[in-house]
């Protein structure tokens, strides 16, 4: 059995779909369905059980034959500031999932975050020397990375440090939706795309399509490849694309873009630039290529244009 936390989330639901497409259905999904709209993410997908994450710590003791754990569940709101809740869900619960993997001697793949690099401008390398988390969210993810680095496990432990993931399935992320989604959604509803002042047009990030994030997640979960080595690996394209370029790829003309004041509550830890260093990923024999933004954003636009119901983020 594969245990998949966050299976009703953005990346998690895409992982669930990918596993199903390869014939894997012996899956226990763990998530929080307080927002009932997330249940749509589980509709028409195949799995054998579901657990609320608050009940899983006690319920997991009765589970047998766990072969792999893919731990993607977390508070993913980068602006969430309650440190107690962040550490409970992003650190303490993650420690329980890791211990469960150690008990079952099974591969453990979890979601790290490029936010741990902070507001640096270069050298996004998976090493403590290059990590400087600045927000409560980033620190909670960094804390678990440090814990993992000190733990021995008889099976692989792999942290995937996702950069800015975008693509189908993120419509429930609201304010945390990717910039490509916000651009395409704004244009579909006849609204302007907002870029922040103070260099907003020059800001650039590493935007990675969810299909590529899913491929890496499934690959490193080792359900097909037992030779996966433990480590923390960047998952990004290795290219930084400006926000202005993303807007243009979404179909924006000059008159569709306007500058807006930079929100004061977002200045701390804001990443004006990210670019994944893929050296360690390639050294781990991960040879798959990543979609360039020029391809990925346009395919995402086609996908959203074809949806019968389009959600406005206002």
Q: What is the mean pLDDT of residues 21-34?
A: 97
Report the CATH superfamily, name and number, of domain 165-206+238-276+291-305. Answer: UDP-galactose 4-epimerase, domain 1 (3.90.25.10)
Q: Concatenated DSSP letters for 184-241?
A: HHHHHTT-PEEEETTTTTT-EE-EEEHHHHHHHHHHHTTSS-TTPPPEEEEES-S--E
Q: Which of 18, 38, 95, 173 is catalytic?
A: 173
Whether 46 sits among the annotated catalytic residues: the reply is no
In this model, does residue 224 exceed pLDDT 70? no
Domain range list for the chain: 2-164+210-235, 165-206+238-276+291-305
Average pLDDT, the chain: 93
Q: What is the mean pLDDT of residues 50-68?
A: 95
Name the pLDDT band for 297 (thresholds 50, 70, 90): very high
Q: 3-class secondary structure for 54-80?
A: HHHHHHHHHCCCCCEEEECCCCCCCCC
Q: Which of 110, 117, 137, 219 is catalytic?
A: 137
Contacts of 34 (CB under 8 A, 6+ apart): none
- Phi first, then psi: give them for residue 141, nearest 5 degrees: -70, -40
Q: Concatenated DSSP letters for 99-153?
A: HHHHHHT--EEEEEEGGGGTT-SS---SSGGG----SHHHHHHHHHHHHHHT---
Fold for 2-164+210-235, please state it. Answer: Rossmann fold (3.40.50)
Name the pLDDT band for 225 (thresholds 50, 70, 90): low
Contact of 148 with 131, CB cutoff 8 Å? no
Whether 219 sits among the annotated catalytic residues: the reply is no
Give residue-wise pLDDT tens across range 270-296: 899 999 999 999 999 999 999 999 999
User: Which structure tokens are listed for 77?
Assistant: 């709101």
């Amino acid at each position: 059995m594969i245990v998949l936390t966050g299976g009703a989330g953005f990346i998690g639901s895409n992982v669930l779909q990918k596993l199903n497409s390869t014939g894997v259905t012996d899956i226990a999904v763990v998530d929080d369905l307080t927002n009932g709209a997330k249940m749509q993410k589980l509709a028409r997908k195949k799995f054998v059980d579901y657990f609320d994450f608050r009940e899983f710590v006690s319920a997991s003791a009765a589970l047998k034959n766990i072969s792999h754990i893919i731990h993607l569940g977390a508070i993913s709101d980068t602006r969430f500031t309650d440190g107690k809740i962040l550490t409970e869900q992003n650190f303490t619960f993650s420690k329980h999932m890791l211990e469960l993997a150690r008990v079952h001697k099974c591969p453990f793949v979890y979601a790290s975050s490029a936010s741990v690099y902070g507001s640096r401008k270069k050298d996004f390398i998976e090493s403590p020397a290059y990590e400087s988390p600045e927000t409560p969210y980033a620190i909670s993810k960094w804390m678990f990375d440090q814990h993992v680095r000190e733990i021995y496990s008889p099976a692989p432990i792999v942290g995937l440090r996702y950069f800015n993931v975008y693509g189908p399935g993120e419509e429930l992320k609201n304010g945390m939706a990717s910039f490509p989604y916000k651009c395409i959604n704004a244009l579909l509803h006849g609204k302007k795309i907002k870029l922040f002042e103070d260099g907003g047009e020059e800001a650039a990030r590493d935007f990675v399509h969810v299909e590529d994030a899913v491929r890496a997640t499934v690959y490193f979960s080792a359900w097909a490849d037992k030779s996966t080595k433990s480590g923390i690996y960047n998952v990004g394209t290795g290219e930084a694309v400006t926000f202005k370029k993303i807007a243009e790829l979404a179909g924006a003309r000059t008159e569709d873009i306007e500058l807006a004041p930079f929100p004061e509550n977002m200045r701390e830890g804001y990443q004006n630039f990210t670019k994944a260093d893929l050296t360690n990923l390639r050294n781990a024999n991960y040879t798959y290529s990543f979609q360039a933004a020029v391809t990925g954003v346009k395919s995402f636009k086609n996908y959203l244009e074809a949806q019968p119901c389009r959600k406005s983020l206002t």
